Structure 1
Amino acid sequence: MSMARKDGTETTSVDVVIVGSGFAGLTAAEHLVSKGLTVRVLEGRDRVGGRSFSGEVAGVEVDLGATWVSPRHTAIRELAQRMGCTTTPQFAEGSNVLWMAGRRHKYQGTIPPVSPIVMVDMARMQLALDKLLQTVNVDAAWESPDATELDALSFGEWLDRKQALPKTRAMMAIISKVQWGCSPADVSLLHVLRYIRAAGGLNHMLDVENGANQDRIAETTQEIAKRLAERLGDRIVVNAPVRRIDQDDHGVTVRTDAATIKAQYAIVTVAPPHRGDIDFQPPLPEKGAGLARTWPMGALSKAFVAYDRPFWRAEGLSGEALTDTGTAFITFDVSPDPTGPGILMVFCSPRVFDGFSPELRRSRVVRQLVDLYGPKAQTPIDYIDHCWGTDTFAPGGPHPAAPPYASVSYGSALTDPHGRIHWAGTETAGEWAGTMNGAVITGQRVADRIAGLVKVKETA
């Protein structure tokens, strides 16, 4: 039910209001609607999808945000299938390229070939991480037996204590930049362990074949969200950032610039630091406010460089490369067809990327691709990039980079309801936290919980 107010805003009443139209919010909405409840989804951006966002390069749709799905990501795969989206394998045939300490090497497999000493050292680090992983409660890492000690160290400090060799540290720094959008010195060891455990272990997190990077969505991951949003229709309102949520014993009142929505319950799916952008009345408890203050988003940027054809394949290269210096630090081949266009997806370090002009960003990326793939990389036919750290709304990604002490102090607030306000989103997942799969699971889980509460109220 809707009606106009004297100030020109619209007032609407529904059973449940949902903040955010990423996979958690959209999944929760679909689930609640299927149970006969009325919902309104409020999205601050001008689009749905959250950190799944598409762009176009050389006429091909590409993922500027979330990209890959694992064979074990059954929830997002089932959703994609229902929406008529298909998977395509991540190309990984041929040799990979490593640029380290100013030298170019070729290798195959996940881990680059380095000196025997470094190989032993990297195996030592992984063994030590695996041992720690067994102690971490993936559903509540802050309740793990050694949580206080693990959370007091940054990932970088732990590598120092383990006396990791420089090349081992360089590899761990690449992992940290891709997964948390920060350096090892900026993220808690407990937070790192939680995400690795949630991802199914370090090997699964990094691998292409049978790993987290095995498949892409041919239509892009945002297309899944768009098709689900089409089914939900006018239940979704974009360009509607939530400013305030009031609650009492009877329900919640959610306010945007143009509307007031009254509901029995609210589901908030925004990332932890962006909870702080909403005025909650009554205010969040100390742990909830602390979570918003102390779990900053990391920052990661992506570029896509297109060529007439994937020329590197003819040279026996996979298009996957790692580098320890410069703007780019990892690349993948996301070409739609062997005949072209050839497209390289490039992860870029925001500190030496985001603040520069589009022309300079492009030239820096292309220059590194020439180092990795030779002079043919000098003449791309198209280019696009996206800097998540400079988004005008809800900036940052891919995940929060929780520093030392933040998880033990405030981690429980990820999922603890605030009265009639419940939380969802990939960060609130146990297993698969940090993935699209985790987001879908939390949307379904919270929707089931809310549906039960509404039903109890109706029958009381």
Structure 2
Amino acid sequence: MGDLTRRSLLTGSVASAAAIGLPAAATAAPSTAPAGSSARPTTRADVVVVGAGLAGLTAARRLVAHGHSVVVLEARDRVGGRTLNHPIAKGKIAEAGGEFVGPTQDRIVALAREVGITTFDAYDSGNDVYQRGSIRLLYSDTSATGTAPPDPTLLVDIVKLSQQIDQMATTIPIEKPWTAPDAAAWDEQTLATWVRANAVNADGILELLAPFTEALIGAEPEDVSLFAVVAYVAAAGDAKNVGTFERLFNVRNGAQQSRLVGGSQLVSQRVAAALGHRVRLGSPVRRIARTAHGVQVESDRLTVIGRRVVVAVPPVLAAQIQYDPLLPVRRDQLVQRLPMGSLRKVEAIYATPFWRAAGLTGQFLTTGGPVGYSFDNSPPDGKPGVLAGFVGGAQNLKWSRHSPAELRAAVLAQYARLFQDDRFLKPEGFFEHDWSSERWSRGGPTYTPGPGTLTALGPALRAPVGHLHWAGTETSDYWIGYMDGAVRSGERVAAEVHASL
């Protein structure tokens, strides 16, 4: 299913709404624009939602179910935020953005089921490939190290450091991680600094960690605060299951265990179709101003007068909105210090996933790039075969200086070399999506807090400011940076706003 356009949003919205329990969307009646405003049309709603990704759409859906009038303003000409379906062949898709779900990610799975979308297992039969320098291994993720490679030169550190981080994560209060006993000390250093102080083979471990962090947050171990990493690990669970380092990285019993039939963007498309005219595409919000009775939200296409506003976009984009009056200093400083990671996905399409017959999962982990981590991204029936990879952090910055053709050649050569099969050199198709160059994302998959940011300013991340409320996966308690975190944040903020109206 392709991107949801303005026309497809409106078609069938009444039937879709009835199917998932929402009242049919009514067209908002324009009202007279206030004196001094631009000529853009003006309408009214109880709640204005900025952003039609999973967070904003979840919030809107819940608020409508509570009986509130809602308008969703989306800058793009599509819904879905950092999820994006890419057509590949005969109505089939591959995801160019977020796609995986796994144990304890129950909120995204529940929402998907509510709109008629099921899951299927990510392909994980056979051996993974690992290469670092002269070391090349084939290994199964059913071994003791899971997705982490059993590199004999690093095994002691892999076990030791992962256990240490898991233990550190147990001390994190999920709703207020910055109050952890050691938060300040951990936030004074980067992940790389901590590794150098605790690893036997620090250089080797940092070399191994780079492709993990490049794929996971779009940054290097030197870029991100140790405390932010520990809090991120702690969030990889739910109220009954403590977050672990292993759950973040593993496919089997981990965050990459399953995918959504029809592609992850389909969830947002179906929710938006049910919301109908409430969702306005091509409407980037430029200004949010407090009024005597609420808020005035000005986008390029529409001004909305509301009682509350939910800003459900990444912090770096929320910072670009003009606020009147200015935001409190702590909130303003926070969003200036939360850059997005740098990440692109590259995907090669073949007639079949021939690597499966060779006993390979399609997953590799390697150092030196451009791709650090690959995976089998084929449709549920395995036709065609799709091999996807992450180019993140410093690798993405490096390859942004090269042409698409040069990157394509380098990726295919890397696939052929690592899997030792020249068939990878001749795909039937190839596409890439650089989230760092997308105007309304500015990077991915999530933010990358540096030292000192979250302990000093973290409480402002989701605390309402007057009539302003904040959502988005970065504001979640569990599964920060994931689709599940986005849905959780939308549910939280909907309850918060409903209680305030």
TM range (shorter): over 0.9
1:151 is matched with 187
2:294 is matched with 251
Q: TM-score, normalised by structure 2?
A: 0.88
| Residue of 262, 266, 272 corresponding to 1:219 | 262
The one-letter amino acid of 1:364's match is: A
How far off its partner does 1:9 sit?
A: 0.8
Matched, 1:138 2:174: yes
Task: Check whether the contact 2:94–2:378 (CA below 8 A) recurs between aligned residues.
Answer: no
Matched, 1:194 2:231: yes
Post-superposition Cα deviations, 1:236-295, rounded to whole Å, max 9, x if no partner, equal 011111001011452000011222110010011111121111011111111111111111
The one-letter amino acid of 2:213's match is: S
Matched, 1:69 2:116: no
Task: Check whether the contact 2:282–2:301 (CA below 8 A) recurs between aligned residues.
Answer: no
Post-superposition Cα deviations, 1:385-420, rounded to whole Å, max 9, x if no partner, equal 001111122311101000001111211111111110
2:24 is matched with none
1:457 is matched with none
2:366 is matched with 323
Gaps of 5+ in 1: 455-460
Post-superposition Cα deviations, 1:98-145, rounded to whole Å, max 9, x if no partner, equal 121044321111121211x52111111112212211222222221111
The one-letter amino acid of 2:436's match is: G
How far off its partner does 1:326 sit?
A: 2.3
How far off its partner does 1:194 sit?
A: 0.8
How far off its partner does 1:75 sit?
A: 1.1
How far off its partner does 1:163 sit?
A: 3.4
Q: Distance in 1 between matches of 2:364 and 2:263?
A: 22
Change (3 A) 1:429 1:7: closer
1:458 is matched with none
Q: Distance in 1 between matches of 2:32 and 2:408?
A: 49
The one-letter amino acid of 1:423's match is: W
Matched, 1:47 2:47: no
Change (3 A) 1:138 1:49: same
Identity level (%)? 35
Choose between structure 1 and 2: higher helix proportion: 1
Q: Distance in 2 between matches of 1:338 and 1:34?
A: 36
Question: Residues 278-427 of structure 1: matches in 2 within 5 Å?
Answer: 278-336=321-379, 340-348=383-391, 349-373=395-419, 374-427=421-474
Gaps of 5+ in 2: 1-28, 142-146, 237-242
Q: Distance in 2 between matches of 1:119 and 1:18?
A: 48
Change (3 A) 1:100 1:132: same
Task: Check whether the contact 1:313–1:319 (CA below 8 A) recurs between aligned residues.
Answer: yes
The one-letter amino acid of 1:176's match is: T
Q: CA RMSD in A?
A: 1.5
Change (3 A) 1:58 1:170: farther
How far off its partner does 1:337 sit?
A: 5.5
2:23 is matched with none
Q: Distance in 2 between matches of 1:295 and 1:129?
A: 23
How far off its partner does 1:174 sit?
A: 2.0
Q: Which moved more, 1:64-73 or 1:134-143?
A: 134-143
Task: Check whether the contact 2:173–2:180 (CA below 8 A) recurs between aligned residues.
Answer: yes
2:250 is matched with 207
The secondary structure found in structure 2 opposite 1:186 is coil
Q: Distance in 1 between matches of 2:77 and 2:407?
A: 26
Task: Check whether the contact 2:81–2:441 (CA below 8 A) recurs between aligned residues.
Answer: no
Q: Distance in 2 between matches of 1:247 and 1:339?
A: 53
Question: Residues 66-105 of structure 1: matches in 2 within 5 Å?
Answer: 66-105=98-137
Q: Distance in 1 between matches of 2:400 and 2:274?
A: 36
Matched, 1:160 2:196: yes
How far off its partner does 1:40 sit?
A: 0.3
The one-letter amino acid of 1:445's match is: R
The secondary structure found in structure 2 opposite 1:158 is helix
Q: Distance in 2 between matches of 1:73 and 1:132?
A: 22
Task: Check whether the contact 2:212–2:372 (CA below 8 A) recurs between aligned residues.
Answer: no
Q: Distance in 1 between matches of 2:309 and 2:47?
A: 6
The secondary structure found in structure 1 opposite 2:154 is helix
How far off its partner does 1:340 sit?
A: 3.0
Q: Which moved more, 1:98-107 or 1:41-50?
A: 98-107
Matched, 1:178 2:221: no
The one-letter amino acid of 2:106's match is: T
Post-superposition Cα deviations, 1:286-311, rounded to whole Å, max 9, x if no partner, equal 11111111110011110110111111
The secondary structure found in structure 2 opposite 1:14 is strand
Change (3 A) 1:122 1:71: closer
Q: Distance in 2 between matches of 1:326 and 1:76?
A: 31
How far off its partner does 1:18 sit?
A: 0.4
Q: Distance in 1 between matches of 2:447 and 2:304?
A: 29
The one-letter amino acid of 2:117's match is: C
Q: Distance in 2 between matches of 1:338 and 1:314?
A: 15
Q: Distance in 2 between matches of 1:270 and 1:338?
A: 34
The one-letter amino acid of 2:285's match is: V
How far off its partner does 1:4 sit?
A: 5.2
Q: Which moved more, 1:330-339 or 1:314-323?
A: 330-339
Matched, 1:2 2:30: yes
Task: Check whether the contact 1:58–1:382 (CA below 8 A) recurs between aligned residues.
Answer: no
The secondary structure found in structure 2 opposite 1:312 is coil
The one-letter amino acid of 1:148's match is: A
